Amino acid sequence: MKITILGAYQTKFGELWDKSLKDLSSEAAFGAVEDAGVLFKDIQTAYFGNKMSPQITGQNHVGSLLAEILGTDIPITRIEAACASGGSAVRQACMAIESGQYETALVLGAEKMTDLAISEISVGLMGAASEQERESGLSFVGLYALMARKYFDKYGAGEKDLAAIAVKNHFHGSLNPKAQFPFVLTIDQVMASSMVADPLKLLDCSPITDGAAGLVLASEKYAKKLGSKKPVIIASKQASDTLSLSKRKDLTSLAGAEKAAGEAYRQAGVEAKDIEFAEVHDCFTIAEAMALEDLGFCKKGEGYIAVGKGKTRLGGERAINLSGGLKACGHPVGATGVKQLVEVYSQMMGRAGKRQTKKNKLALTHNIGGTGGTAVVHIVRSAKCKAQSEKSKKE
């Protein structure tokens, strides 16, 4: 697979009460097209990652809504895969181009979440959980708290170990002007924040966020015509797991993420050790600890140790969540998976400002839906990186 990222754009993330879903989507779409250096008439199809529009606005037909906003008649498909909607939209666009039907595609992820009360948003989000979990009165923070407790019991981690993940991501977020929370935290501040679902505190949790992100993708042939020297997606894989935690054998790992990552490494012809930086789905701090292990960056039970030693910080062994992650950058659920690739693009193009990493030739993104029922992994190679290994397998 060789799908070029021609352009990318992210809106400011936050409580954007003066902007609608239409405003955010339009800004991200036209921003990405402008960055790609093409005209909108050159875009042949589009995929829109969005979860909450039906619950928040009652608008289900958002593909047509987006066509109206953009003034186009190209095919636009809404993709819903809970919090992995954005990553899944990118994958669908990659497959559409790989099929040969299209040479170019626009991918958007957008969400407007702050217009309703938190209780109403929580009900909408829990549509991504099982009926049993909803009827038990659980929320996603409660579900991830169950995983955190099991992880603590199995590996000996504690609340301060998770707090260190929040501190690291807020340091990165403080360097990102588009982050929802661009400020640093201390361990003591995380530990002093109110308990939401033991052992997860308020500052262990990603926020409710408005925002959008966009990408323009193109075939290798089309990119060559433009003389493009832009980052290339060399693997795109998705896997599933049970909807309910009660059906799983292990609560300290996401099997879908492990499978998607393994298949992505094989498709790209690389190994986990080759990845120089990554954007992972830290909806809660425990999720990042597990992600580091599921992706093969650390041995089982050692994800939190790597964070504590500074290995995942800017300038460390392998920087994780340079954008600030979901925790500090924000989590507009349909946009997150797209934003992850926008961050990778920015790093590889040398545009990341104070959070710029020197190790920026090979990256991975990891986008999770619900408690791991959907997992999407992409691997991206910079234009400076060597040609793709001969081991690379076609999808």
Q: Which of 170, 172, 281, 331 is catalytic?
A: 331
User: Which structural domains are found in the chain, ordered by start?
Assistant: 3-116+207-381 (3.40.47.10)
pLDDT at 395 over 80: no
Judge contact between 288 and 303, C-beta under 8 A. yes
d(CA 52, CA 48): 12
Average pLDDT score over the chain: 95
pTM: 0.96
Non-local CB neighbours of 273 within 8 Å, separated by 6+ positions: 296
Q: What is the pLDDT of residue 126?
A: 87
Identity of residue 201: K
**Structure tokens given for 348:** 């590889």
* Start-to-end C-alpha separation, the chain: 7
> Beta strands 362-369 and 319-320: pairing type?
unpaired
d(CA 145, CA 238): 25
What pairs with residue 369 in β-bridges? 374
**Residue in this structure with the two tokens 């990102």, named with its chain if needed:** 176
pLDDT at 393 over 70: no
Phi and psi at 385, nearest 5°, equal -75, 160
pLDDT in tens, 81-135: 999 999 999 999 999 999 999 999 999 999 999 988 888 888 888 888 889 999 8
Q: Taking the CA atoms of 152, 158, 163 and 165 in sequence, report the sign of the dihedral they define.
A: negative
d(CA 74, CA 152): 50
Judge contact between 83 and 333, C-beta under 8 A. yes
Q: What is the pLDDT of residue 269?
A: 97
Residue 331 designated active-site: yes
Lowest average pLDDT, out of 51-55, 147-151, 255-259, goes to 51-55
